[in-house]
Structures are given as structure tokens and as C-alpha cells.
Structure 1
């Protein structure tokens, strides 16, 4: 089954980190990513630019609205994700616990609804 591991971290902590510590943190993140890949669980993953670079898109009454900035002010911002393959939630949680941000932020693990050509939208709820 596929799981999305959403990585949340306080951006200001990253920005305040001394360069040597930031380099070590990034090296650890990359090593964990390589380990998840080597274990055969990695399907995709990316880091994201800061939340301030986000654009929020809404369509209301047929009109498109685009607003700069994150959706809401939160303590922790979405910084990246892994899409993984795991046998169940228990294994997905063990994999997510390896991500360094689990120690200082949090990792949200969510099962992915997998649609096929015969699946209707109602089947995915």
C-alpha cells in the first residue's frame, strides 16, 4: 500500500541553524532518503521551498483567485514529502520515524487512495 509522509518543520529553526549544523542535517536527510530507497520503500520524494513562496488557488463561482503565501499561519510548515510503499500503517510509521524531522517537527503519515479505471470517486472515501 502507498503512504504519503508529509514532513513538517519550523522554517525559522532551519533558517537560524549554523551552516555546519544545516549541512550535517541535510546530509542526514539525504542518507535517510537513500536508505528508504535501498530498502525498496521509496516511490517519490521532494523538498519544498519555504511556505512564503506558496500560492493558494481557489475557484469560486467560476472565478480564479490566486493568493501569495501559505494557506494559514501554523507553527510548523510543510517542508517536503516521501511517497512510500509499505505493508501497512505500522511499517509506514516505522519508516517515517527514520526521517530526521520526526525528532524536531512531525511527520504526518496518510494512506493513499489508489484508483483504477473501474473505481468511482465514492469508492475512494
Structure 2
């Protein structure tokens, strides 16, 4: 079954791609995903300051710069996994470095 991990953290501490690539915790996480052959993709997202939120109400398109809600945490990226079940997805997500100071939301994918 496919799962998406929504990787959430405080935007005040965004490491650069080079910092992530050199971080032993991220390296270990990537190795574990590779070892399980669970990785199916993912992406790092740009900061919320670059977000645009769209809502259509009563036929009118409302465009807002930034996220929909004011919040300290933001979705900074996603990982897509193929796992045997939710328990395996939880095992993998619990190893993600951002689980230590942010949060990882696990969502099953409709297929």
C-alpha cells in the first residue's frame, strides 16, 4: 500500500539541501528507506512565503499569498512510500529526522 509522509516542521530552522545531504540522520533515514525498497518518490517544498492559496467562493476566485492558515508548523516536504501496512509506514516515519523536532503525518493513498 502507498503512503505519503507529510513532513512538518517550524520554518524558522530550514536546513539547506547541502546540510541535509551531509546530515548523518538524513543519510541513515535514506539508507533505511532504500534497504526496505520502500521509496516511491518525494519532494522538498519551498518556504510558505512562496505559497499561494486559492479558494473559490460563490463563483469568485480568492487568491491569498502564503498558506491557508497562520501556523508555526508547515509542510516542508513529502515522501511517498510503498509499505506492507501502516505499521511499516510508522516504523519508517519514526526514523525520519524531522520526527524528532517536527512531526510526520502519514496518509494512505487512494488507489
TM-score w.r.t. length of structure 1: 0.76
Which one has a bigger Cα radius of gyration?
Answer: 1
Aligned to 1:69: 66
Point out where structure 1 has 5 or more consecutive residues left out of the alignment.
115-125
Q: Which has the higher contact order (CA 8 A, sep 6+)?
A: 2
Aligned CA-pair RMSD? 2.1
Residue 27 of structure 1: which of 1, 22, 26 is its match? 22
For residues 82 and 49 of structure 1, what CA distance do their matches in structure 2 show?
15
Point out the structure with the larger strand share. Answer: 2
For residues 46 and 34 of structure 1, what CA distance do their matches in structure 2 show?
17
TM-score w.r.t. length of structure 2: 0.84
1:9-48 correspondence runs (5 A): 9-14=9-14, 23=19, 25-28=20-23, 29=26, 32-48=29-45
For residues 34 and 71 of structure 1, what CA distance do their matches in structure 2 show?
34
1:37 to partner: Cα distance = 3.4
Runs of 4+ in 1 over 6 A off after TM superposition: none
1:106-125 correspondence runs (5 A): 106-114=103-111
Q: How many residues align?
A: 108
Point out where structure 2 has 5 or more consecutive residues left out of the alignment.
none
